[in-house]
Structure 1
Amino acid sequence: MTTPSALERPTGVPFPRRLTARLVLIPALALSFLPPRRIRAVLHLVCRGATPATAAQAKNARDAMCAVSLRCAGPKGCLPRSLGAALLCRLGGSWPTWCTGVRVVPPFTAHAWVEVDGRPVDEGVPDDYFTRLITVSPGSRPRR
Structure 2
Amino acid sequence: MTTPSALDRPAGVPLARRLAARLVLGPALALSFLPPRHLRGVLERVRRGARPASPAEAAAAREALCAVSLRCAGPRGCLPRSLGAALLCRLHGAWPTWCTGVRKVPPFSAHAWIEAEGRPVGEGVPDDYFARLMTVPPVTRAGRATRAAT
The offset of 1:117, in angstroms, is 1.4
- In structure 2, list runs of 5 or more residues that go unmatched: 140-144
Partner of 1:92: 92
- Residue 52 of structure 1 pairs with residue 52 of structure 2: yes
Give the distance between the partners of 1:63 and 1:21, measured in 2 at CA: 9
The offset of 1:2, in angstroms, is 1.7
Give the distance between the partners of 2:64 and 2:99, measured in 1 at CA: 19
Structure 2 counterparts to residues 94-109 of structure 1, below 5 A: 94-109=94-109
The offset of 1:107, in angstroms, is 0.7
Partner of 2:35: 35
User: Matched residues, percent identical?
Assistant: 75
Residues 34-68 of structure 1, C-alpha deviation per residue, up to 9 Å, x if partnerless? 11111100000000111000000000000000000
Amino acid at match of 1:138: P
Partner of 1:7: 7
- In structure 1, list runs of 5 or more residues that go unmatched: none
Give the distance between the partners of 2:96 and 2:89, measured in 1 at CA: 7
Residues 56-110 of structure 1, C-alpha deviation per residue, up to 9 Å, x if partnerless? 0000000000000000000000000000000000000000000000000001100
Amino acid at match of 2:9: R
Structure 2 counterparts to residues 103-118 of structure 1, below 5 A: 103-118=103-118
Give the distance between the partners of 2:118 and 2:56, measured in 1 at CA: 14
Q: TM-score, normalised by structure 1?
A: 0.96
- Residue 80 of structure 1 pairs with residue 86 of structure 2: no
Please provide the CA RMSD for this pair. 1.0
Runs (4+) of structure 1 moved beyond 4 Å? none
Partner of 2:142: none
**Partner secondary structure for residue 122 of structure 1:** coil
Amino acid at match of 2:24: V
Give the distance between the partners of 1:138 and 1:116, measured in 2 at CA: 10
Question: Greater CA deviation, 56-65 or 132-141?
Answer: 132-141
Partner of 2:65: 65
Q: TM-score, normalised by structure 2?
A: 0.92
**Partner secondary structure for residue 45 of structure 1:** helix
**Partner secondary structure for residue 21 of structure 1:** helix
Give the distance between the partners of 1:133 and 1:36, measured in 2 at CA: 11
